[in-house]
Amino acid sequence: MEQVNSIDPNYSLIAAVHGITGLVIFITGILQFTLKKGNWLHRIIGRAYLYSWFVILTTGAYIGSLLIVAIVLLGFYLSITGIRAAVLKGKPFAVIDKAIIITAGLVVLFMIAAGIIQLIKHNYTYAILAGFFSLLYSRIIVRDIQFYIFNKKVFRNDYGKMNWYVNHLTRMQFSFITAVGAFAAVQNVFGNMVLNFTLPALVGVIVIRLSTRHFVKNLDSVN
């Protein structure tokens, strides 16, 4: 996916920073899911993971297209709302949280419009990416708007006091698979941009469902 810009002298440096930061997200993401949760190390790694998203966004905006930046921005949305879920632990979202949710909704609308425009231009690669990720994230964000802004009961309440943890874990997992897709696209792992982005997402959705079921099963056995 990476393009070589021979005119801009800063391009190679920024692209290198982007690639290194993507690797940091990949490593810290794996550590977040494999190491013990709730201790000081988990929190430090979580901060490093979140701060790396800021770098990925800014460098990605410099070297990539607006559509790719929008996809990464939605991954960052899940990362920051996932961390907020852990901080609030079931308490109501603040005004800033609601503003973030509305912003994410606008990003999804932009992706839908971009997908239509790319389809009209016969740029099917970007049209497929826009359609895939707008569908994937619109379900999450629409439910967030209904629940956190309009106070509608749209989430299942199967986990009792651990609802916040399932919310936190699921969002962080979704943000991670978005990061993996972006990293795969930069490195062109599968030789196809659509596969680079969508294959990690599809595998990730399956992993998230299985891990959530495993958590629920363990929670039921404890109760």
How is 73-102 classified by DSSP, letter by letter? HHHHHHHHHHHHHHHHTTPPP-HHHHHHHH
Mean pLDDT of all residues belonging to the chain: 83
Strands (E), the chain: none
Q: In the prediction, which pLDDT does 7 show?
A: 60
Q: In the prediction, which pLDDT does 164 show?
A: 85
pLDDT for residue 192 is more than 50: yes
For residue 171, which of 68, 115, 93 has the smallest C-alpha distance?
93
- pLDDT above 70 as % of the chain: 89
pLDDT tens digit sequence for 197-219: 888 888 888 877 777 676 666 65
What is the band of 66 on the pLDDT scale with cuts at 50, 70, 90? confident
Whole-angstrom distance, CA of residue 69 vs CA of residue 98: 21
pLDDT for residue 165 is more than 60: yes
The label of the residue with tokens 């629940």 reads 147
pLDDT for residue 141 is more than 90: yes
Higher pLDDT, 121 or 167: 121
pLDDT tens digit sequence for 76-96: 999 999 999 888 887 888 899
